[in-house]
Chains A and B, each alone.
Chain A
Protein backbone atom coordinates (compact mmCIF):
# COMPACT_ATOMS: atom_id res chain seq x y z
CA UNK A 1 0.00 0.00 0.00
CA UNK A 2 0.98 3.65 -0.27
CA UNK A 3 2.22 4.92 3.07
CA UNK A 4 2.05 8.55 4.13
CA UNK A 5 2.66 10.69 7.19
CA UNK A 6 0.76 13.76 8.19
CA UNK A 7 2.56 17.03 7.65
CA UNK A 8 3.41 19.04 10.77
CA UNK A 9 0.46 21.11 11.95
CA UNK A 10 2.35 24.39 11.62
CA UNK A 11 3.02 23.67 7.94
CA UNK A 12 -0.64 22.85 7.24
CA UNK A 13 -1.76 25.94 9.17
CA UNK A 14 0.52 28.17 7.13
CA UNK A 15 -1.09 26.86 3.90
CA UNK A 16 -4.64 27.65 4.98
CA UNK A 17 -4.49 30.53 7.45
CA UNK A 18 -5.52 33.15 4.90
CA UNK A 19 -8.81 31.45 4.13
CA UNK A 20 -12.09 31.37 6.01
CA UNK A 21 -13.80 28.24 4.65
CA UNK A 22 -11.65 25.14 4.78
CA UNK A 23 -12.62 21.62 3.75
CA UNK A 24 -10.57 18.62 4.92
CA UNK A 25 -11.07 15.52 2.76
CA UNK A 26 -9.79 12.13 3.88
CA UNK A 27 -9.09 9.13 1.70
CA UNK A 28 -10.58 5.77 2.60
CA UNK A 29 -7.94 3.54 1.01
CA UNK A 30 -4.18 3.18 1.64
CA UNK A 31 -3.76 6.19 3.94
CA UNK A 32 -6.68 5.06 6.10
CA UNK A 33 -4.93 1.73 6.63
CA UNK A 34 -1.63 3.43 7.52
CA UNK A 35 -3.54 5.76 9.85
CA UNK A 36 -2.36 8.97 8.21
CA UNK A 37 -5.32 10.33 6.24
CA UNK A 38 -8.49 8.41 7.11
CA UNK A 39 -11.65 9.46 8.86
CA UNK A 40 -10.05 9.70 12.30
CA UNK A 41 -7.13 11.76 11.02
CA UNK A 42 -9.57 14.10 9.25
CA UNK A 43 -11.43 14.63 12.54
CA UNK A 44 -8.16 15.30 14.34
CA UNK A 45 -6.85 17.82 11.81
CA UNK A 46 -10.23 19.59 11.55
CA UNK A 47 -10.43 19.77 15.35
CA UNK A 48 -6.89 21.13 15.58
CA UNK A 49 -7.62 23.80 12.97
CA UNK A 50 -10.84 24.86 14.70
CA UNK A 51 -9.03 25.04 18.07
CA UNK A 52 -6.16 27.08 16.64
CA UNK A 53 -8.44 29.53 14.79
CA UNK A 54 -10.90 29.96 17.65
CA UNK A 55 -8.08 30.50 20.11
CA UNK A 56 -6.89 33.35 17.90
CA UNK A 57 -10.45 34.71 17.63
CA UNK A 58 -10.65 33.88 13.94
CA UNK A 59 -14.04 33.00 12.51
CA UNK A 60 -13.07 30.14 10.21
CA UNK A 61 -15.37 27.34 9.13
CA UNK A 62 -13.68 23.93 8.93
CA UNK A 63 -15.70 21.15 7.29
CA UNK A 64 -14.89 17.45 7.09
CA UNK A 65 -15.50 14.94 4.28
CA UNK A 66 -14.35 11.54 3.08
CA UNK A 67 -13.86 9.92 -0.32
CA UNK A 68 -13.33 6.19 -0.50
CA UNK A 69 -10.50 6.73 -2.99
CA UNK A 70 -9.26 10.12 -4.15
CA UNK A 71 -7.31 8.65 -7.10
CA UNK A 72 -10.49 7.69 -8.93
CA UNK A 73 -13.20 9.92 -10.50
CA UNK A 74 -15.86 7.44 -9.45
CA UNK A 75 -15.36 8.10 -5.75
CA UNK A 76 -14.96 11.87 -6.04
CA UNK A 77 -18.09 12.26 -8.11
CA UNK A 78 -20.38 12.52 -5.09
CA UNK A 79 -22.90 15.41 -5.13
CA UNK A 80 -22.62 15.98 -1.37
CA UNK A 81 -18.83 16.11 -1.58
CA UNK A 82 -18.94 18.45 -4.59
CA UNK A 83 -21.30 20.81 -2.73
CA UNK A 84 -18.83 20.99 0.13
CA UNK A 85 -15.95 21.60 -2.30
CA UNK A 86 -17.90 24.42 -4.02
CA UNK A 87 -18.55 26.09 -0.67
CA UNK A 88 -14.89 25.96 0.42
CA UNK A 89 -12.13 28.51 -0.19
CA UNK A 90 -9.45 25.86 0.11
CA UNK A 91 -9.40 22.06 0.28
CA UNK A 92 -6.89 20.05 2.30
CA UNK A 93 -6.55 16.61 0.77
CA UNK A 94 -5.36 13.98 3.22
CA UNK A 95 -4.67 11.50 0.42
CA UNK A 96 -1.29 10.53 -1.00
CA UNK A 97 0.24 12.72 -3.70
CA UNK A 98 -1.76 10.81 -6.31
CA UNK A 99 -5.03 11.64 -4.56
CA UNK A 100 -4.13 15.32 -4.12
CA UNK A 101 -3.37 15.68 -7.83
CA UNK A 102 -6.36 13.69 -8.96
CA UNK A 103 -8.71 15.61 -6.65
CA UNK A 104 -7.28 18.91 -8.01
CA UNK A 105 -7.83 17.78 -11.58
CA UNK A 106 -11.28 16.28 -10.96
CA UNK A 107 -12.73 19.17 -8.93
CA UNK A 108 -11.49 21.74 -11.45
CA UNK A 109 -12.94 19.73 -14.35
CA UNK A 110 -16.23 19.21 -12.55
CA UNK A 111 -16.57 22.75 -11.19
CA UNK A 112 -15.33 24.85 -14.14
CA UNK A 113 -16.76 28.18 -12.94
CA UNK A 114 -14.64 28.31 -9.77
CA UNK A 115 -10.93 27.49 -9.51
CA UNK A 116 -10.50 24.99 -6.67
CA UNK A 117 -7.37 25.12 -4.51
CA UNK A 118 -6.26 21.74 -3.17
CA UNK A 119 -3.27 21.48 -0.80
CA UNK A 120 -1.65 18.36 0.66
CA UNK A 121 -2.12 17.36 4.30
CA UNK A 122 0.31 14.45 4.07
CA UNK A 123 3.79 13.65 2.88
CA UNK A 124 3.67 10.51 0.74
CA UNK A 125 6.55 8.42 1.96
CA UNK A 126 6.70 5.05 0.18
CA UNK A 127 5.04 1.88 -1.07
CA UNK A 128 5.36 -0.53 1.79
CA UNK A 129 4.07 -3.33 3.97
CA UNK A 130 2.54 -3.27 7.42
CA UNK A 131 5.07 -5.23 9.54
CA UNK A 132 3.28 -4.91 12.88
CA UNK A 133 0.75 -2.60 14.52
CA UNK A 134 1.97 0.91 13.77
CA UNK A 135 5.04 -0.17 11.74
CA UNK A 136 5.42 0.13 7.96
CA UNK A 137 8.48 -0.43 5.80
CA UNK A 138 9.25 0.24 2.17
CA UNK A 139 9.10 -2.81 -0.09
CA UNK A 140 8.83 -1.53 -3.68
CA UNK A 141 10.25 1.48 -5.53
CA UNK A 142 8.18 0.80 -8.66
CA UNK A 143 11.22 0.29 -10.92
CA UNK A 144 8.94 -1.10 -13.63
CA UNK A 145 10.95 -4.30 -14.21
CA UNK A 146 10.41 -6.75 -11.35
CA UNK A 147 13.25 -9.15 -10.45
CA UNK A 148 11.64 -10.87 -7.46
CA UNK A 149 11.54 -14.27 -9.21
CA UNK A 150 15.36 -14.30 -9.21
CA UNK A 151 15.83 -13.10 -5.63
CA UNK A 152 13.56 -15.30 -3.57
CA UNK A 153 10.81 -12.67 -3.24
CA UNK A 154 13.10 -10.09 -1.61
CA UNK A 155 13.69 -6.92 -3.60
CA UNK A 156 17.35 -5.83 -3.85
CA UNK A 157 16.37 -2.70 -5.78
CA UNK A 158 14.34 -1.40 -2.83
CA UNK A 159 15.89 -3.06 0.18
CA UNK A 160 19.59 -2.83 -0.68
CA UNK A 161 20.78 0.73 -0.06
CA UNK A 162 22.86 0.50 -3.26
CA UNK A 163 20.22 -1.43 -5.27
CA UNK A 164 22.89 -4.03 -6.10
CA UNK A 165 21.86 -6.91 -8.34
CA UNK A 166 24.81 -9.32 -7.97
CA UNK A 167 25.20 -10.02 -4.29
CA UNK A 168 26.10 -8.00 -1.20
CA UNK A 169 28.73 -5.30 -0.93
CA UNK A 170 31.50 -5.24 1.67
CA UNK A 171 29.28 -3.28 4.04
CA UNK A 172 27.15 -6.30 4.91
CA UNK A 173 27.92 -7.30 8.48
CA UNK A 174 26.13 -9.99 10.52
CA UNK A 175 23.09 -9.67 8.30
CA UNK A 176 22.86 -5.90 8.68
CA UNK A 177 23.53 -3.01 6.32
CA UNK A 178 26.41 -0.62 6.93
CA UNK A 179 24.21 2.44 6.58
CA UNK A 180 22.17 1.52 9.66
CA UNK A 181 22.38 -1.46 11.99
CA UNK A 182 18.57 -1.52 12.18
CA UNK A 183 18.33 -2.32 8.47
CA UNK A 184 18.65 -5.89 7.26
CA UNK A 185 21.11 -6.52 4.45
CA UNK A 186 18.77 -7.43 1.58
CA UNK A 187 21.39 -9.72 0.03
CA UNK A 188 21.86 -11.57 3.31
CA UNK A 189 18.11 -12.22 3.33
CA UNK A 190 18.11 -13.22 -0.35
CA UNK A 191 20.92 -15.74 0.10
CA UNK A 192 19.26 -17.22 3.21
CA UNK A 193 15.95 -17.55 1.37
CA UNK A 194 17.44 -19.06 -1.80
CA UNK A 195 19.44 -21.49 0.33
CA UNK A 196 16.26 -22.59 2.09
CA UNK A 197 14.58 -23.02 -1.28
CA UNK A 198 17.58 -24.98 -2.63
CA UNK A 199 17.90 -22.42 -5.41
CA UNK A 200 21.27 -20.82 -4.73
CA UNK A 201 22.20 -21.62 -8.34
CA UNK A 202 19.92 -18.79 -9.37
CA UNK A 203 22.68 -16.42 -8.32
CA UNK A 204 25.32 -17.92 -10.63
CA UNK A 205 24.47 -16.01 -13.83
CA UNK A 206 25.77 -12.46 -13.72
CA UNK A 207 22.89 -10.03 -13.78
CA UNK A 208 23.60 -7.35 -16.40
CA UNK A 209 23.22 -3.69 -15.51
CA UNK A 210 19.63 -2.79 -14.89
CA UNK A 211 17.55 -1.18 -17.58
CA UNK A 212 16.12 1.80 -15.76
CA UNK A 213 14.01 2.96 -18.70
CA UNK A 214 10.78 1.48 -17.29
CA UNK A 215 11.50 3.36 -14.06
CA UNK A 216 10.76 6.99 -13.31
CA UNK A 217 13.24 8.62 -15.64
CA UNK A 218 11.18 9.78 -18.59
CA UNK A 219 8.27 11.69 -17.12
CA UNK A 220 5.11 10.08 -15.80
CA UNK A 221 4.59 6.46 -16.77
CA UNK A 222 1.31 5.40 -18.24
CA UNK A 223 -0.58 2.14 -18.61
CA UNK A 224 -3.31 1.74 -21.22
CA UNK A 225 -5.34 -1.46 -21.33
CA UNK A 226 -6.77 -1.44 -24.83
CA UNK A 227 -9.07 -4.37 -23.99
CA UNK A 228 -10.80 -2.17 -21.39
CA UNK A 229 -11.31 0.75 -23.78
CA UNK A 230 -14.41 1.09 -25.97
Chain B
Protein backbone atom coordinates (compact mmCIF):
# COMPACT_ATOMS: atom_id res chain seq x y z
CA UNK B 1 0.00 0.00 0.00
CA UNK B 2 1.25 3.46 -0.90
CA UNK B 3 2.50 5.38 2.12
CA UNK B 4 0.21 8.22 3.24
CA UNK B 5 1.71 11.49 2.03
CA UNK B 6 -0.19 14.28 3.77
CA UNK B 7 -1.39 17.32 1.87
CA UNK B 8 -0.09 20.30 3.81
CA UNK B 9 -1.16 23.87 3.10
CA UNK B 10 1.37 26.46 4.26
CA UNK B 11 0.31 30.10 4.50
CA UNK B 12 3.70 31.78 4.19
CA UNK B 13 4.63 35.33 5.09
CA UNK B 14 6.13 37.14 2.10
CA UNK B 15 8.91 38.64 4.21
CA UNK B 16 10.27 35.56 5.95
CA UNK B 17 8.75 32.14 5.28
CA UNK B 18 8.63 32.64 1.54
CA UNK B 19 12.26 33.75 1.44
CA UNK B 20 13.11 30.80 3.68
CA UNK B 21 11.27 28.41 1.34
CA UNK B 22 13.20 29.89 -1.55
CA UNK B 23 16.51 29.40 0.26
CA UNK B 24 15.53 25.85 1.15
CA UNK B 25 14.83 25.16 -2.50
CA UNK B 26 18.02 26.77 -3.77
CA UNK B 27 20.25 25.01 -1.28
CA UNK B 28 18.70 21.66 -2.13
CA UNK B 29 17.17 20.98 1.30
CA UNK B 30 14.64 18.20 1.28
CA UNK B 31 11.08 18.69 2.42
CA UNK B 32 7.97 16.73 1.57
CA UNK B 33 6.66 17.30 -1.96
CA UNK B 34 2.97 17.34 -1.00
CA UNK B 35 3.32 20.88 0.35
CA UNK B 36 1.23 23.70 -1.14
CA UNK B 37 2.52 27.19 -0.40
CA UNK B 38 0.17 30.17 -0.30
CA UNK B 39 1.98 33.50 -0.14
CA UNK B 40 0.44 36.16 2.09
CA UNK B 41 1.69 39.68 2.60
CA UNK B 42 1.50 39.15 6.36
CA UNK B 43 0.32 36.14 8.36
CA UNK B 44 -1.85 38.57 10.35
CA UNK B 45 -4.21 38.63 7.38
CA UNK B 46 -4.82 34.88 7.43
CA UNK B 47 -8.31 34.69 8.91
CA UNK B 48 -9.96 31.86 10.83
CA UNK B 49 -12.37 30.99 7.95
CA UNK B 50 -9.36 30.45 5.63
CA UNK B 51 -7.96 27.83 7.99
CA UNK B 52 -11.26 26.01 8.43
CA UNK B 53 -11.97 26.20 4.70
CA UNK B 54 -8.62 24.56 3.93
CA UNK B 55 -9.52 21.61 6.17
CA UNK B 56 -13.01 21.53 4.64
CA UNK B 57 -11.43 21.39 1.19
CA UNK B 58 -9.50 18.28 2.19
CA UNK B 59 -6.11 19.47 3.48
CA UNK B 60 -4.62 17.06 6.00
CA UNK B 61 -2.82 19.84 7.79
CA UNK B 62 -2.53 23.62 7.63
CA UNK B 63 0.47 25.55 8.89
CA UNK B 64 0.80 29.31 9.11
CA UNK B 65 4.45 30.37 9.01
CA UNK B 66 5.35 33.88 10.02
CA UNK B 67 8.38 35.83 11.23
CA UNK B 68 10.10 35.34 14.57
CA UNK B 69 8.26 37.21 17.33
CA UNK B 70 9.43 40.80 17.49
CA UNK B 71 10.53 40.73 13.86
CA UNK B 72 7.21 41.08 12.01
CA UNK B 73 7.46 43.56 9.14
CA UNK B 74 4.04 44.88 10.22
CA UNK B 75 4.97 44.74 13.94
CA UNK B 76 2.14 42.54 15.28
CA UNK B 77 0.98 40.40 12.36
CA UNK B 78 2.55 37.20 13.64
CA UNK B 79 1.11 37.69 17.14
CA UNK B 80 -2.33 38.07 15.57
CA UNK B 81 -1.76 35.00 13.38
CA UNK B 82 -0.80 32.87 16.38
CA UNK B 83 -3.99 33.91 18.21
CA UNK B 84 -6.14 33.20 15.16
CA UNK B 85 -4.60 29.75 14.76
CA UNK B 86 -5.28 29.07 18.45
CA UNK B 87 -8.92 30.08 17.98
CA UNK B 88 -9.26 28.00 14.80
CA UNK B 89 -7.81 25.00 16.68
CA UNK B 90 -10.50 25.15 19.34
CA UNK B 91 -13.23 25.70 16.72
CA UNK B 92 -11.94 22.69 14.81
CA UNK B 93 -11.89 20.56 17.93
CA UNK B 94 -15.55 21.43 18.59
CA UNK B 95 -16.43 19.75 15.30
CA UNK B 96 -14.73 16.51 16.35
CA UNK B 97 -11.59 16.99 14.24
CA UNK B 98 -8.05 16.92 15.67
CA UNK B 99 -6.82 20.39 16.51
CA UNK B 100 -3.21 19.45 15.70
CA UNK B 101 -4.12 19.60 12.02
CA UNK B 102 -3.56 23.33 12.47
CA UNK B 103 -0.29 24.88 13.54
CA UNK B 104 1.42 28.24 13.83
CA UNK B 105 5.20 28.38 13.47
CA UNK B 106 7.84 30.95 12.74
CA UNK B 107 11.12 31.01 10.84
CA UNK B 108 13.97 33.47 10.60
CA UNK B 109 13.92 35.37 7.29
CA UNK B 110 16.53 33.60 5.20
CA UNK B 111 16.69 30.27 7.04
CA UNK B 112 15.93 27.46 4.61
CA UNK B 113 16.86 25.00 7.36
CA UNK B 114 14.18 26.40 9.68
CA UNK B 115 11.58 26.15 6.92
CA UNK B 116 12.42 22.55 6.07
CA UNK B 117 12.30 21.68 9.78
CA UNK B 118 8.86 23.27 10.25
CA UNK B 119 7.44 21.42 7.26
CA UNK B 120 8.98 18.11 8.32
CA UNK B 121 7.62 18.44 11.87
CA UNK B 122 4.16 19.28 10.57
CA UNK B 123 4.26 16.41 8.09
CA UNK B 124 5.26 13.90 10.79
CA UNK B 125 2.52 15.14 13.12
CA UNK B 126 -0.12 14.90 10.42
CA UNK B 127 1.12 11.48 9.30
CA UNK B 128 0.54 10.27 12.84
CA UNK B 129 -3.06 11.59 12.70
CA UNK B 130 -3.80 9.95 9.36
CA UNK B 131 -5.70 11.45 6.44
CA UNK B 132 -8.32 14.14 6.82
CA UNK B 133 -11.51 12.11 7.56
CA UNK B 134 -13.45 14.30 5.15
CA UNK B 135 -11.54 12.80 2.20
CA UNK B 136 -12.23 9.18 3.01
Q: Which A residues fall within an 8 A CB radius of B? A: 8-10, 40, 43-44, 47-48, 50-52, 54-56
Contact = CB atoms under 8 A, between A and B. Distances in A.
A143 B53 CA distance: 44
A52 B49 contact: no
Interface in B72-128: 91-92, 94-97
Contacts of B56: 47, 50-51, 54
B134 A51 contact: yes
Nearest to A54: B134
Interface in B44-64: 47-49, 52-53, 55-56
A56 B97 CA distance: 11
Interface residues of B, number: 15
**The 9 nearest A-B residue pairs measured at CB:** A43-B49, A47-B52, A9-B94, A52-B95, A51-B95, A54-B134, A48-B95, A55-B96, A55-B133
Nearest to B50: A43
Contacts of A8: 94
**B-side interface mostly:** helix
B49 A40 contact: yes
14 contacts: A40-B47, A40-B48, A40-B49, A44-B49, A44-B52, A47-B49, A47-B56, A48-B52, A48-B91, A51-B52, A51-B96, A51-B97, A54-B56, A54-B134
B95 A9 contact: yes
Contacts of B49: 40, 43-44, 47
A134 to B, nearest CB: 10
Contacts of A56: 96
B49 to A, nearest CB: 4
A48 B134 contact: no
A99 B8 CA distance: 40
A43 B49 CA distance: 6
A55 B93 CA distance: 12
Interface in B26-57: 47-49, 52-53, 55-56
A9 B91 contact: yes
B75 to A, nearest CB: 14
Contacts of B91: 9, 44, 48
A81 B56 CA distance: 24
Contacts of A44: 48-49, 52, 91
B92 A51 contact: yes
A50 B58 CA distance: 12
A48 B52 CA distance: 8
Nearest to B92: A51
A50 to B, nearest CB: 6
A230 to B, nearest CB: 44
Contacts of A50: 56
B48 A51 contact: no
B22 to A, nearest CB: 32
A52 B53 contact: no
